């Protein structure tokens, strides 16, 4: 058996091996990256049907000293697995709240809200609500300008405890979006019991909305569902004017995507926002 094992390694393809070792290196480097403050938030505008920008989504990036800018699509799954997501997620919340407090004291940008992604593991952490309250208090960020984006996996827990947690935050004015909607498996009956404010249509449905009739039907169904549940609905990953028009016709309320802007460093986001205000 030992021989077979050693032989098996010879079949390992070198590219796959490089990927495995990159993963292992990033995995091991995450804690240190947090200590060395190598993470940064970029902000992507969210656009209402009338064209106004009233919120941005905070998206984390890792500025790696040797490997350059690393996408969260690569390191967030590792951080969720090894637990770094809890302190990293806390850092993201805190940084977003510092930014919110800063904008709130600036009359030209006081209306801007920030949506923050919160992982299932972070949301389920027993101190999550207390820490959020502490962060809001310490930074002075207005809770009504904070939106939390959760995925269905965060909510697949005992419904009473999920609702209690969300209600405690809602009482302060925090809002909730359900991210990547349509990719999970939660039942509609379950959804109805949650105090959500908004559904986000996953970009996977938006990208082929004009060419794949199934995606168009799913997007339309999510919009109708949101309407019936009294929720807002935002389409992410909107890249073309034709996609936006189709979604407008279906009754979508808000949009996000490269058609409007990529996620931007804070100074560029502020310049983008100020330009929009002058139009
Ligand atoms: P997400 O929350 O679904 O965020 C949307 C992703 O789509 C972002 O990728 C964004 O840059 C990208 N995107 C925006 N517009 C377009 C478009 O028009 N076309 C296409 N193709 N893509 C677009 P990003 O920044 O790489 O983030 C990937 C994922 O990493 C996020 O997906 C989210 O699940 C996770 N993530 C990012 N930041 C955080 C964070 O602070 N905490 C947690 N827990 N997860 C995060
Ligand atoms: Ca999101
Ligand atoms: Ca998504
Ligand atoms: Ca996602």
Residues of the chain whose pLDDT is less than 70?
Answer: 1-12
Predicted confidence at residue 184, as pLDDT, reads: 79
Predicted confidence at residue 188, as pLDDT, reads: 80
The share of the chain scoring above pLDDT 70, in percent, equals: 96
Ligand nearest to the CA of 154: 1
Listed residue (234, 241, 236, 272) closest to 259, CA to CA: 241
Predicted confidence at residue 1, as pLDDT, reads: 46
Residue with the nearest Cα to atom 8 of ligand 1?
59
Residue 12: how many other CB atoms lie within 10 Å:
10
Cα–Cα distance for residue pair 149/158, rounded to 1 Å: 19
Residue of 203, 205, 260 with the most ligand 1 atoms within 8 Å of its CB, for mutation: 203
Instruction: Check pocket membership of 84 for ligand 1, CB cut-off 6 A.
Output: no
Closest ligand 1 atom number to CA of residue 60: 38
Predicted confidence at residue 11, as pLDDT, reads: 65
- Please, which residues bridge with residue 39 across strands? 62
Residue with the nearest Cα to atom 46 of ligand 1?
117
pTM for the full predicted model: 0.94
Listed residue (179, 219, 220, 216) closest to 196, CA to CA: 179
Q: How far is CA 99 from CA 42, 163, 169, 170, 186, in A?
A: 11, 28, 19, 20, 33
Predicted confidence at residue 5, as pLDDT, reads: 55
Can you spell out the DSSP letters for 178-235?
Answer: EEEETSS---HHHHHHS---EEEE-HHHHTTTTT-HHHHHHHHHHHHHHHHHT-EEEE
């Amino acid at each position: 058996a030992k021989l077979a094992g050693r032989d098996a390694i010879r079949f390992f393809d070198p590219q796959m091996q490089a990927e495995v070792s990159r993963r292992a290196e990033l995995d091991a480097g995450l804690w240190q990256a947090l200590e060395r403050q190598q993470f940064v938030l970029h902000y992507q505008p969210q656009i209402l049907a009338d064209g106004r920008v009233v919120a941005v989504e905070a998206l984390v990036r890792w500025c790696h000293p040797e490997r350059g800018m690393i996408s969260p699509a690569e390191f967030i799954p590792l951080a969720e697995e090894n637990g770094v997501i809890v302190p990293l997620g806390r850092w993201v919340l805190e940084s977003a709240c510092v930014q919110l407090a800063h904008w709130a004291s600036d009359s030209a940008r006081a209306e801007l809200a920030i949506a923050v992604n919160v992982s299932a593991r972070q949301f389920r952490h027993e101190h999550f609500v207390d820490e959020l309250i502490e962060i809001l208090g310490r930074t002075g960020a207005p809770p009504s300008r904070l939106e939390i984006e959760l995925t269905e996996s965060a909510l697949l827990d005992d419904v009473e405890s999920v609702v209690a947690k969300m209600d405690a935050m809602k009482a302060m004015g925090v809002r909730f979006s359900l991210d990547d909607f349509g990719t999970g498996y939660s039942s509609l009956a379950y959804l109805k019991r949650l105090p959500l404010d908004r559904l986000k249509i996953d970009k996977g449905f938006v990208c082929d909305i004009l060419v794949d009739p199934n995606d168009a039907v799913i997007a339309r169904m999510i919009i109708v569902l949101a309407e019936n549940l009294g929720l807002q609905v935002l389409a992410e990953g909107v890249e073309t004017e034709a996609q936006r028009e189709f979604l407008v016709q279906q009754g979508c309320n808000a949009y996000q995507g490269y058609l409007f802007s990529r996620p931007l460093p804070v100074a560029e986001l502020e310049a983008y926002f100020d330009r929009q205000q002058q139009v």
